[in-house]
Structure 1
Amino acid sequence: MPTWTVGDLTVHRVDEAIAPPETGPWLLPAATPDLVRRHDWLHPDFAAADGALRLATHSFVVVGNGRRIVIDTGVGNGKQRANPAWHDLRTGYHDRLVDTGTTPDAVDLVLLTHLHTDHVGWNTHLVDGEWVPLFPNARYATSRLEREFWAGQVLDEPRQQVFRDSVHPVEDAGLLDLVEVGAHGAEVAEGVRLVPTPGHTPGHVAVELTSGGETALVTGDCLHHPVQVAHPEVTSCADVDPVQAEATRRALLESLADTGTLVLGTHFPPPTAGRIARGPDGLVLTVR
């Protein structure tokens, strides 16, 4: 599992699963093989030779300033899900988390970029037939707008199940904090800021890490795949507001270009991290 440093902070990737090949055409239908093959820099890490997208699910663990922070918690084991790729998983996520030197009870803060299925699953685990918080000593946090949006929706049964097993137990334990994320973001810990990136969901946030003059950004789902660096018009089938998602992505990428900020993609496959640079044909993600 790779590790990056951002000043005095250490960031570990905790892998859950590689997405099956059919995920790309479903999730990002406009990212056709012909479009993907136009960009040599996407190969071989981010796309196969035939133009198929590579995608993954993982968390990031941030260690430093006396804290251990988990950013997004994947799909989870043993969860009943409508998506066959996410149903009743049995992965080694928990052991890989411990392998970073972080046990669940040592985590101080869990940050949720948004409340979709594949970002909240390891909020909880099954104990004696009940879903209970995996991180019992942590505060969990997401934007207030995000939680209030879903509270105001009529949820279908599959999404109700996600809330029943992965969100409500955290709320019932009194561990969920709702953060007012203004236009300029909200600091939730030293060097850790939630940045508003609406569109995929109304309250979606990215997570900015700053230390020792260095900066990194964990994308959440405002960027699902590096092809969107070159083509921010490529939207996700899961975007609540595709027009806003594209506008957010364009503004974010422009703000990151040539700044040296390390971009950590929540669904980017290995090598997962890179920097946004201006190339002769537009923006690229450089990983070397």
Structure 2
Amino acid sequence: MSALAELRKLEKGGKGSKRDNRAAAWFLTPWFIGLVLITAGPMLASLVLAFTKYNLLQAPVFNGLDNIVRMFGDERLLRSLINTFLYVIISVPLQLALALALAVFLDRGVRGLSFYRSVFYLPSLLGGSVAIAVLWRTVFGTGGLVNDALAFFGIQGQGWISSPDTALATLILLNVWTFGSPMVIFLAGLRQIPTSYYEAAQVDGASRWRQFRSITMPLLSPIIFFNLVLQIIHAFQSFTQAFVVSGGTGGPADSTLVFSLYLYQRAFGSFDMGYASALAWLLVLVIGAFTALNFWLSKYWVFYDD
């Protein structure tokens, strides 16, 4: 009788799980509709338009691989790729290094940790906004705060935004300044490292630097890898800062023309939607290639406990 009772319970549980699955499916239906209509649908449409000539005013005309061939002779596209690669390669490591340094500092038990964590996280919330980009343009302008500070020490300032030699550097600095999000993730990762490892290292006479190099970095490497992948993807998609600082032109002399801004100019400046769609898929391929490269390289430096 006990076995029969258990079997009946399992049957009731199975029916209940089916009802739960149906309820979950109904709750997920709006998300699936949004996925098809807002994400997957437009992506497939842009893939089709990438092989057409389309300007929003006339029906798309299939042109084969013309848009792809056109990329090889596009000098502004090459310039935007160079600017974007420099932006990513320089800003992301600096941003992560600063975030990790502050996370290690805060992990030592600073008083008012919640306050400092909120203050340091604030730039990540505001860094991508138009208001901060406008403020950044003002701060690094000819009569901005940076030049005023340099003048206090008797140093002649310049128009950092208006100079092709330094305009991209100001955007890189703005991205480095938005270190709050990876810092919070680093701080959470540091809190997961057992203190017994550090206590054993101290007994063996290991210095703080040796503890950081031999304990903290290996055990934190999965978190570093996670932040690295996310911040590279985010940096490749950067648009608002370059658009606001340059006034949408990518100037001066295309020095702030990042890839997303150039794509926007082709799509909504000249309404060359077919070519812009091809550029969008080029960005997808570039991000995918960098992500795949990071995953391949991770086996050489990412350490997992298991």
Would you say same fold, with TM above 0.5? no
Which band: TM-score by shorter chain?
under 0.3
| TM-score under structure 2 length normalisation | 0.21
Larger Rg: 2
TM-score scaled by structure 1?
0.22
Greater share of strand: 1
